[in-house]
A and B are shown apart, each in its own frame.
Chain A
């Protein structure tokens, strides 16, 4: 069997069609993810419009510096991931491994900063449930805000964790020569997912951290 035949699954006419099918499949999956996060953003927007004042006050408890750094970290990781796809298509395998490793480290850094923020919020008594320690008339509404905060950032964090795992597997597949410059769709698809996780954060960050004003 020639290399070219091995790179083409039998249901496809040619390599171009195989690549189109792979990318289209990933976009369709991402469309379902848009609906998944969209519903949460909608619920947040409606709830916020009902409790504007207390949601703005609650948002001021978030660490804007940590949020800003984390946004920059994610942008950088998307940048290195985009470069990695380009490098793979040009056959620069060592560079691909290096760039993907940087993405993984940056993803880990994002989660570490997020974990630090979670810890702070827990200690300060903002974690919803028994540990929640805000009293006063607006206490319930602040708790509602932090419920949204932990659900939105938590689901985003799980998505990032999955992206980290998938990218680590991709590094392994490239090292073992199963993802190659001519068979690069697996990396292209996982890169799309990584960028999507970035896009979700682009909305999570202003909605939670910024729009209440500072």
Chain B
């Protein structure tokens, strides 16, 4: 790691703050369900930046990638099953 890495940290930090301003600003617009999509999309970009740069995932051993992706995969299974249940409870035959 050297000067180049530290410059990338500065860039990531500025992006994180910019995205924060964006997500807070978007909360004052009344867009209904799109509000939620914008907030989650920005949060997704922010955690990707943090994981890839601050947590050095981009230079990391690929075993660490497997662990990170597996945790998201299992998380999405849990969300899909539970939300699938609640979303379809009112369905009648």
Contacts and interface: CB of A to CB of B under 8 A. Distances in A.
Interface of A: 20, 23-24, 27-28, 30-31, 34-35, 38-39, 42, 45-46, 49-50, 64, 68, 71-72, 75-76, 78-79, 81-83, 85-86, 89-90, 191-192, 195-196, 198-199, 202-203, 206-207, 209-211, 213-214
Contact of A20 (B20, B50, B63): B63
Given A38-B75, A72-B20, A89-B1, A203 B61 contact: no
Contacts of A81: 54
B36 A211 contact: yes
A206 B1 contact: no
B20 A71 contact: yes
A48 to B, nearest CB: 10
Given A206-B39, A206-B42, A90 B53 contact: no
B68 A31 contact: yes
Nearest to A23: B64
A196 B23 CA distance: 20
Contacts of A196: 55
**Interface SS of chain B:** helix
Contact of A211 (B16, B28, B29, B39): B39
B53 to A, nearest CB: 7
Contacts of A213: 27-31, 35
A79 B9 contact: yes
A187 to B, nearest CB: 12
Contact of A45 (B16, B24, B83): B83
B50 A24 contact: no
Contacts of B26: 210
Given A20-B61, A199-B50, 16 more contacts: A24-B64, A31-B71, A38-B78, A46-B83, A46-B86, A64-B24, A71-B20, A75-B16, A82-B54, A86-B1, A90-B2, A195-B50, A202-B43, A206-B27, A213-B30, A213-B35
A213 B71 CA distance: 30
B6 A86 contact: yes
Contacts of A210: 23-24, 26-27, 35, 39
A85 B6 CA distance: 10
Contacts of A90: 1-2
A19 to B, nearest CB: 9
A42 B79 contact: yes
B71 A78 contact: no
B65 to A, nearest CB: 9
A28 B64 CA distance: 8
Contact of B24 (A68, A75, A89): A68
Max count, chain A CB within 10 A of own CB: residue among B1, B5, B55: B55
Given A23-B64, A78-B50, A83-B9, A34 B42 contact: no
A27 B42 contact: no
